[in-house]
Every structure is written in structure tokens, then in C-alpha cells.
Chain A
Amino acid sequence: MPTMKPLPNLGFGLGLRTDHYQTILADKPAVDWFELITENYLVAGGKPLFYLDSIRADYPMVMHGVSLSIGSTDPLNWDYLRQLKALAKRIEPAWVSDHLCWTGVNGVNLHDLLPLPYTEAAIDHVANRVSTVQEYLGRQLLLENVSSYVSYAHSEMSEWDFLSAVAERADCLILLDINNIYVSAHNHGFDPLRYLRQLPAQRIQQIHLAGHLDLGHLIIDSHGDTVIDPVWSLYEAALQRFGFVATMIERDDNVPPLTDLLAELDIAKRIANTLRLAA
């Protein structure tokens, strides 16, 4: 494991979305940083990389992937990792993240962030793979907690204990999705504040905020709506627990004008200001 420098605290960011490319370049909005979806830019050329390079010239960026499949029992996808590393060399992101999940086995990709059973064996499996990936990329990885809709009969611990153990054993960082905690707390009936209390504070490097779809019996992590008040409250509790952590809003569906997301980001800033936490 290479010696890692502490990562910067980037402030308040947004997910980079194609709908906003022109506005970002024209208006240079006051956003501290953007998070790009890695896979959208693992292409040979054209508009995706053209706009990415143009916007990168003005803003810090972080890379957020959905295909690492760190929990899969398939071998690591070295073709993917090579392309990811090349993009990281091009973009020089402040950090690289993916999800604590698996996406498929036997060479099949279900293109979903599937939950793992919370077992000792799974911790070992994931931690070993995270170490390999960190060694290859020469940087610490951030892993994000996913929303989940099922639980496994053979899970041996809580999700927070599983996430903490993976992070500690692999010496990686955590991208904490506050909405996902809220969603999973509803779907599994746990206390989201207990989740926050049990995490290793020093490993929380980034926070995601997003909206969801409440079906009543289940809440679905849709990223298609505004952040709801209970999630803002949970965010406030997270900042009280962890101090200020680089925060961004994720919107993937019903993407509104950039000004709407900037206004939503202002809510996060107000919460941090109220707590007298500097970005």
C-alpha cells in the first residue's frame, strides 16, 4: 500500500451531467467541484471527453464509478481498471470512488449496485480486492454505501459494521450517501442515527445527497427528485458527528436547470454554516 497524502476538503459540489455542460461553460457557476461518472467518459473521443476536458480546466473534479464490482466473486476487470487509471491520469481527480456492492458474476453485468451479505468472508473478500485496486491506482479508494431493498438470511452483522470493517481492513475511505442511509433505514427498519454513530469518522471523505421515490412499503433510490427534509436533518446529524465533509447533490433523473441544483446546494451550505463548520 503506497503512502497516502491526506485528501483535500473540496467544499460543495454537484454531479456533472450532460444537460448542464453548456451552462457550466458559459456561466462558470459558483460550484466548488464536480463529480463525474467514470463510465460516461471511458470512451475514445467526441463530446463526452471534449466537454469533460473543457470543464475540468475550470473546476476540481472527483471520479465516481459504477462498474468496479468490488464485491463480485468474478476476477477484477483489469480492462476496466486500466481505462479508469488512464482517465484518472487525464483528469487528475482529487479522488476516485465506487460502491460497496457487486454488479454481476460469470462475466455478466446486471448494471445495478447489488447489496452484499454482511459476512466476515465478504469483508475479507472485498478488503483484499480494495487493497489490490488501491495498489494499482496508487491512491486510496472511496467506497459508497448503497441503497438496498433486500437482506440476506446469512448476514452476520449490521450494514454499518460491515462498511466500517471493510474500510478499516482495506484502509480505504468512505463516500457516505446520506439518502441511501435514509432509504435503507426505512427498507430494513434500522435507526439511521445509529448508523452514523457507528462509522469511523476519520474515514468519511465525501457525502452524497439525493432525492428518492417513496412507494410507502419501500423507498427506491431514484435520484429523480429534490432532497427531502428528513434527509437534510440526517445530513445535519452527519456533519455534527463527522465535522464538515465535502458534500454534493446527485441528480440523475428529471434533471432540473443547474440553478435549481445550486439552490439546493445552498441548503447544504446553510446547514454547514448554522453548525459553524467551514467548507
Chain B
Amino acid sequence: MTTMTLSLADTQQAFQTAVLHLQKATPDFIIGTPQVSADQRFKVYTDAYRLRLIEALSADFQALHTYLGDDGFAGLGQTYIDASPSDQFSVRWFGRHLPRFLAETPPYTEQPELNELAVFEWALSEAFDAAESTLLSHAQLVTIDPNAWPSLTLHFHPSLRRINLHSNAPQIWQAANQKQALPEFTRQPEAQAWSIWRHEQKLLFRSLSEQEAYALDAFVQGQCFAEICTGLSEWLEEADVVMKLASFLQTWLRDGWIADKATGVAKAT
């Protein structure tokens, strides 16, 4: 390559390629000094690229980092960085493909708990800076016209996430978060439903019964109160269905899940 006529675009293309692919030689337009070779100088960039992104992943997947240890996490980070170069302006989103990467990429596929831990941690990170919304109050709920209840639909706080896990990933996360010894990974044949959300700037999570998860998922999909009552009758006596669903709504109000749709904020998300 003739450096005298090298365009800015070609310079940047060659520079970036050599940062992304460690097997590539230092571009020949990089010059050294008597003290420091071109290779040594360029290595500052190739090293910094990987260290910075592994650090970003560690910030979002702290429990996964603890579970894998420094070397294991750095190895995972390196593989992921090579597979998924960042295409976002903010490093905030760099880790968003990591759960799927762990689910699809050998040898990580042999440890399904890694995917579940990553799914859980990424849901936490999404809840952390999701949009705000005002919440529906108990007073607003009780003033709803009784005739309108069957067609009632709900909007939820934008931070609310619903995931299903077969493992004790939340317990592993909690232990790591409190810097305690991590429990053994356990796996159940049946998935457990979990919700993760933010309330008054605190990140919260809890498990849901099968019925509650059904009702929540159905509301999120836009079904109305009457439709969900019909669905719940698969588990419950018809006489108990309305009380059960009303009790779920009370709990969701308490937890800060139901958005006040009159604000229009929830609609927009």
C-alpha cells in the first residue's frame, strides 16, 4: 500500500481490521519510534479494545463473571467480542446478544445455567434504565365503572420484564451480588416464572405462580379482564376466578407494575 496516497477511509478500514482481527499485522502506515516499535504502539489499541469491552460486559453480567471467574469470563468475553463487534454508539448495549450467544455457542451450550444467569442479569439491566411511567393508584382502580371491568385492559410499567427459568439463577445472582459463596447450580424440569422490575429506583424481582404468570402475560398481550377470567377457569372454580384475578391486580398495584395509561407514557412503549 502506498501511504502517500492513502485515503482517510482506507486508513480507517485498515486500522479497524487490524484491531478487530489479532492475526492481522499492524498496518504499514503506523510508524514506530526509536524506543517503541510500531507493533508495540499499535498493541495499545488492540489490547484496550478487548479490555474495555470485557469491562463493559462485566458491569452488566457481574454474577456471570463471579460464577466463571476472571479467566473464564475473559475467555467468554474474548469469544463474544470476536463474534459480535459492537454496532451501537453506546457500550451500554454491547452485552445484549450475550444470553443468546451462550445458548447457541459451544461449549457454553453444555452449561445452560450460563444462559439463564445472563438472561436474568440482562433483564435486570433493562429494568434499570427503562422508561418511566406514572402508576395506576388503588383509588383509580376502585373508581372503574363495574360495567367496564369485563373489558378492562392494562398497561404496565416499561421496566417490567417476564422471564422463565429452569435454574436457580436468581439465587446465584443474589449470592454474587452480596459477595457470598455461590450456591450449587440446580435445574428443575419445569420452568419457573419470574418478574423483574424497577420501583422507586430500586431493582426488584420475584417468582410468580403459574396462574399469576398466565394472567400477567395475557394482560401484556392485550387481553381483557373477562378473557383472562375465562383462561383462569382452567385452574380454578368459576366462582373463585374473579376474586383471584382481583387479588393479582392488588398485588401488581402494590408492586408498582400497572401504569396509569391516562398519562400516555405506557402506550408509547
Contact = CB atoms under 8 A, between A and B. Distances in A.
User: Number of contact residues on A: which range applies?
Assistant: 35 or more
A55 interface: no
B48 A152 contact: no
Name which of A45, A114, A122, A187 has the most chain B CB atoms within 10 A of its CB. A45
Contact of B4 (A79, A108, A154): A154
Given A46-B128, A111-B52, A217 B35 contact: yes
A165 B198 CA distance: 49
A45 B9 contact: no
A117 interface: yes
Given A39-B91, A109-B87, A154-B29, A149 B53 contact: no
B29 A152 contact: yes
A187 B29 CA distance: 17
Interface string A218-254: 1010000000000000000000000000000000000
Nearest to B28: A153
Interface in A114-151: 114, 116-117, 119, 121-122, 125, 149-151
A153 B31 CA distance: 6
Contact of A150 (B30, B49, B158): B30
Interface stretch (A99-107, A173-181, A266-274): A99-107
Nearest to B198: A46
B90 A112 contact: no
Contact of B8 (A67, A117, A153, A220): A117
A41 to B, nearest CB: 9
B243 interface: no
A72 interface: yes
A39 B29 CA distance: 32
B8 A39 contact: no
A125 B8 contact: yes
B88 A45 contact: no
A111 B158 contact: no
User: A-side binding surface: helix, strand, loop or mixed?
Assistant: loop
B129 A153 contact: no
A44 B130 contact: yes
B41 A218 contact: yes
A258 B168 CA distance: 39
B251 to A, nearest CB: 23
A110 interface: yes
A151 B89 contact: no
B30 A67 contact: no
Interface stretch (B14-22, B99-107, B215-223): B14-22
B89 A77 contact: yes
A152 B11 contact: yes
Given A108-B85, A117-B8, A218 B91 contact: no
A107 B12 CA distance: 12
Given A43-B92, A114-B45, A105 B12 contact: yes
Nearest to A104: B16
A43 B159 CA distance: 12
B33 A102 contact: no
B131 A108 contact: no
B138 to A, nearest CB: 23
A197 interface: no
Contacts of B212: none
Given A153-B29, A154-B4, A188-B33, A72 B12 contact: yes
A107 B13 CA distance: 11
B41 A45 contact: no
A108 B40 CA distance: 24
B9 A107 contact: no
Given A154-B4, A218-B36, A45 B130 contact: yes
Interface of B: 3-4, 6-9, 11-13, 15-16, 19-20, 28-31, 33, 35-36, 38, 40-42, 44-45, 48-49, 52-53, 56, 85-92, 94, 127-132, 158-159, 198, 201
Given A80-B89, A154-B4, 7 more contacts: A39-B92, A73-B12, A108-B16, A112-B49, A117-B8, A150-B45, A152-B11
18 contacts: A39-B90, A44-B131, A45-B158, A45-B159, A104-B86, A107-B87, A108-B16, A108-B85, A109-B91, A110-B16, A111-B56, A111-B91, A112-B45, A116-B8, A149-B44, A150-B44, A150-B45, A154-B6
The 3 closest A-B pairs by CB, nearest first: A44-B131, A43-B129, A46-B129
